[in-house]
A and B are shown apart, each in its own frame.
Chain A
Amino acid sequence: MAEITVTVDGVKYADHVEPRMLLVHYLREVVGKTGTPIGCDTSNCGACTVLLDGESVKSCSVLAVQADGAEITTIQGLANGGLHPLQRAFHEEHALQCGYCTPGMIMAASDLLRENPHPSDEEIREGLEGNLCRCTGYENIVRAVRRAAEAGVSE
């Protein structure tokens, strides 16, 4: 077992974990952050995307021990009270149906807008290539990210 200290959504945790434990299992099963779901086992779907020190990662392809000392932001800690502009935009543009991909999609989009605050539709599509959605056909996701970009994510 390895001892790690991780800050998740602003709260500091110290835990003993198996060295092989995936970050997503640590978040879901040790910290209790079940807002981050698991959609695959080959890092293709992006459902488990979180921010690690501000950059998006697929938490199924990071070991919990690699997150030692890091600051993690999940969908449950994205907003500072109320809704983050991306969360609001996803709601207003009907950019989710079953909602399973949504946490990862929003986290990936937040990183996309950090790097490129005013992306074109094509850049949004390319930027979210690593996140799969089976319900929406992506049209409204693109609209939502565009809307959030227009509103300014730092709003």
Chain B
Amino acid sequence: MTAQTEAPQAQAGEFGRARLRKEDERLITGQTNWTDNITLPGMLHIAFLRSPYAHARILSVDVSAARSEPGVIAAYSGADFADEQGSLPCAWPVTPDILIPAHPPMAVDEVRYVGEAVACVVARDRYAAADALAAIEVDYEQLPPVLDIRTALDEASPKVHEAGNKSFEWPFAQGDIDAAFRDAPIVLERTYRQQRLIPAAMEPRAVVCSCVGGEFTLWSATQIPHVLRVMLALVTGIPEQSIRVIAPDVGGGFGSKLQVTAEEVLAVLIARKLGRPVKWTESRSEGNMTVHHGRDQWQRIRIAADSDGRLRGLDVDLLADMGAYLMLVTPGVPLLGAFMFPAIYKMDAYSFKCTGIFTTKMPTDAYRGAGRPEATFAIERMMDELAAHLGVDPLVVRERNWIKHEEFPYTTIATLTYDSGNYEAATAKAKELFGYDALRKEQEQRRASGDPVQLGIGISTFTEMCGLAPSRVLGSLAYAAGGWEQASIRMLPTGKVEVVTGSSAHGQGHETAWSQIVADQLGVPFEDIRVLHGDTQVSPKGMDTYGSRSLAVGGMALVSACDKVIEKAKVIAAGLLEASADDLEWTPGRFAVRGDPDKGVTIGEIALATFAAHNLPEGVEPSIDADATYDPDNFSFPHGTHLCATEVDTETGFVKIRSYVAVDDVGTVVNPLIVEGQVHGGIAQGIAQALYEEAVYDDDGNLVTSTLADYLVPSAADLPSYVTDRTESRAANRLGVKGVGEAGTIASTPAVVNAIVDALRPFGVDDVTMPCTPERVWRAIQTAQGGPQGIDGGAA
């Protein structure tokens, strides 16, 4: 066969097109397959009884009465699982001497946070299961809670675990920190609070598990079907090949579904015990208590600078609340921040120490940004403090210290090598869109006139490390797994393409963006490509989705797999065209003979000829499918300049965001629509930390913010409109892409708080603790003015 054909009608240049999303149709019509929608024949429902105490010894659990309630099939306490439930995994033992306490999925002897599971009922329907929980008798002996990491290491503090309240201490130092601070003309020290947050993905967690003939299928609202499969095998001892994990449509994650949960493990064990499929769906109140929380640090930060504001050194001492146990990456979260405190700034020395401390609260773990928002907040707040100390514009201080665009690649004091960036360009564009100079003028006027509503301008010139991650770097940081990603291309006989990806989307739009990438690489139409993911039987290998890694790692794996397809297709094309492979030229979608462009064959024709396999060159396998695994050389480093204008009512403390401008450099962009959406959502979550959200425990260790009535996820009425734009410096990978999932969240929190503090500088305010509620803002003003009301209502 020597075909003389045109390449198929691929849309030229999918890369960069604002394609509408393929995944939308099922989502806007209610045809979505959420885990809670799944019903299997004979399926039973699980309800958990949870500890009402922050810390208590379990003296006895009696589930016998629950077993005789109507519709109840079984009831279990922790003792029933003691021999088989193992310990929930921590994959990131950050130091050799780290304390990793046993973490049974269901508590057996002791509970260490409110909400820890102590028993469960399995019943015919969810109502019967919930009813029967009331018949379970548990005797507790209350133990003292441990709630404040600042005092948890005191000799007199009660212990969360017998071995103590300290999990680890992780130091990092570069340069001569003592020399940097010695005789420095300016030394500033501040302490910042990163409050505890609840990720609050809109879809509550849900798990369905079936066990047939020793083969397990687990559907879970998870970000990490592949990691979960490995971990379930390790925790339960069930052979890995007998576990299939499916993440069907997943309704958001933000890190909260990057976890191996007690309920997943217990669903597997209960399905095995009963030989029937089981389902558990959490209520929101249950989720607020028992989905891992984020942030929760105290940050002591010191900078040394020359009299012109040039940074000499940075010293950070971090206390990080681990909660009651170490979960999947709990101790690693503050480490991701460790590398980001120096941010975009040049300096001579950096010293960092993080102490991970146990409390009797829900464990913390990854939440959108994971360590990097915390670090960025602290350094961006400090740059404003330095500017205020010097009496110069905070943008000037930043420019004096940041890495100039001609200095890339640049190795920072934290030993990261930033491959590309242009802070000048992003800042110039943001200033223009924001109307920076006009707003500064208005600010002066309001100050001069004593306007009760003051104007503040907040700046965040952030960067982040994402694209997690080079496996060798993860190894050097003691993380248990690699950071590669997998992709497979299956060329179907009809010329259509199946793309299998190891990343696991839950709102990011992979089905669309991955189609765009493959369309360009293979020269096939966008519509002819289907993207498959989120099922370990369909996509056997993967590292899943978190850390803004999908595009920078998973997208690159796609390109590698396409390369292999083209390479294999070339051999078969040569046979079809009766030409030497060396004489063939590839333009996406078609091979042609050099010098004879009419003589060619399309990738679809090659796929069909390969399927038939009647006439392939000697020794060539009848397949042009390919797998590729991509391990990045480096992280990627998105950056940007976010500017926020707030109007602060100094009489009521009410903060209104008047305008918000975000200019992000996320490298090249596959789909600007998706990128803009990620930036919007990220900004919203960062604003939420600045103004609204905090997980509050009372003095007994009860979670006060256990519902969405108490935990203030902002609505459309609470948030401003955003102006977004981009600048572009290519990342060092072939696509030039960096990642965008976390940028907005990392950037926006300090922009908002800097704006509030900027508005209130004339009142002597130099900090407001987050969330900056009207009460806190008002008290900060009163305190600074020498009034009677401190932040907690105490004396100033």
Contact = CB atoms under 8 A, between A and B. Distances in A.
A127 B34 CA distance: 27
Contacts of B252: 97-98, 100, 134-135
Contacts of B708: 40, 42, 44-45, 132
What class of interface size applies to chain A in its complex with B? Answer: 35 or more
Interface in A101-136: 101-103, 106, 121, 124-126, 128-136
Contact of A18 (B29, B127, B284, B674): B127
Contacts of B281: 38
B241 to A, nearest CB: 31
Contacts of A20: 127
Contacts of A36: 30
Interface string A65-102: 00000000011100100010001001110101111111
A132 B715 contact: yes
Nearest to A88: B28
B677 A140 contact: yes
Nearest to B674: A94
A94 B677 contact: yes
A41 interface: yes
A19 to B, nearest CB: 11
Contacts of B683: 137
B202 A91 contact: no
B747 to A, nearest CB: 13
B317 interface: no
A125 B27 contact: no
B715 A130 contact: yes
A125 B717 contact: yes
A8 interface: no
A53 interface: no
A75 B29 contact: yes
Q: Which of B36, B678, B715, B722 has the most CB of A within 10 A?
A: B715
Given A42-B709, A98-B202, A33 B677 contact: no
Contacts of A5: none
Nearest to A104: B202
A58 to B, nearest CB: 12
A150 interface: no
B23 interface: yes
A7 interface: no
Nearest to A21: B127
Contact of B29 (A41, A83, A97, A125): A83
Contacts of A39: 202-204, 284
B508 interface: yes
Given A94-B676, A141-B716, A134 B283 contact: no
Contacts of A91: 20-21, 24-25, 28
A87 B28 contact: yes
B222 interface: no
Contacts, number: 176
B677 A97 contact: yes
A97 B31 contact: no
Interface string A20-64: 110001001000011111111110110100000000000000000
A47 B202 contact: yes
B537 interface: no
Contacts of A142: 716, 721
B233 interface: no
A37 B284 contact: no
Contacts of B204: 38-40
B28 A90 contact: yes
Contact of B31 (A18, A35, A41, A96): A35
A3 interface: no
Interface in B351-371: none
Contacts of A106: 28
Interface in B437-489: none
A128 B716 contact: yes
Contacts of A35: 29-32
Nearest to A130: B715
Contact of B30 (A103, A126, A134): A103
Given A39-B203, A125-B717, A134-B201, A98 B29 contact: no
Given A35-B32, A42-B284, A94 B21 contact: yes
A132 B29 contact: no
Q: Which of A41, A124, A132 has the most CB of B within 10 A?
A: A41
Contacts of A47: 202
Contact of B203 (A37, A44, A126, A129): A37
Q: Which of B203, B709, B713, B744 has the most CB of A within 10 A?
A: B203
B250 interface: yes
A100 B284 contact: no
Interface in B273-290: 281, 283-285
B249 A99 contact: yes
Contact of A125 (B37, B506, B685, B716): B716
Contacts of B37: 28, 34
Contact of A74 (B30, B508, B678): B30
Nearest to A141: B716
A8 B466 CA distance: 47
B34 A37 contact: yes
A78 to B, nearest CB: 8
Q: Which of B126, B200, B682 has the most CB of A within 10 A?
A: B200
Contacts of A33: 30
Contact of A92 (B20, B203, B677): B20
A94 B681 contact: no
Nearest to A143: B721
A97 B285 contact: no
A121 B200 CA distance: 26
A131 B715 contact: yes
A140 B680 contact: yes
A113 to B, nearest CB: 15
Contacts of B200: 134
Contacts of B678: 97
B251 interface: yes
Contacts of A21: 127
A45 B716 contact: no
A74 to B, nearest CB: 7
Given A40-B707, A87-B28, A106-B28, A100 B202 contact: yes
B677 A136 contact: yes
Contact of B24 (A79, A90, A135, A141): A90
Nearest to A142: B716
A45 B284 contact: yes
B254 interface: yes
B512 to A, nearest CB: 10
B661 to A, nearest CB: 13
Contacts of B676: 94, 140
B188 interface: no
Given A94-B673, A142-B721, A135 B707 contact: no
B127 to A, nearest CB: 7
B674 A137 contact: no
B677 A41 contact: no
Contacts of B682: 137
B511 to A, nearest CB: 12
A57 to B, nearest CB: 17
Given A41-B707, A132-B715, A98 B28 contact: no
A137 B78 CA distance: 41
User: Closest 8 A-B residue pairs measured CB to CB?
Assistant: A35-B30, A99-B27, A100-B251, A98-B507, A137-B684, A137-B680, A44-B708, A40-B284
Given A34-B30, A79-B29, A83-B28, 15 more contacts: A34-B37, A37-B251, A39-B202, A44-B707, A45-B708, A75-B29, A83-B29, A94-B21, A97-B252, A97-B507, A99-B28, A99-B251, A136-B680, A138-B715, A142-B716
Interface of A: 18, 20-21, 25, 28, 33-42, 44-45, 47, 74-76, 79, 83, 87, 90-92, 94, 96-103, 106, 121, 124-126, 128-142
18 contacts: A34-B30, A35-B30, A40-B284, A40-B708, A42-B709, A45-B202, A91-B21, A98-B252, A99-B28, A100-B202, A103-B30, A125-B717, A131-B716, A134-B200, A134-B254, A135-B252, A137-B680, A138-B680
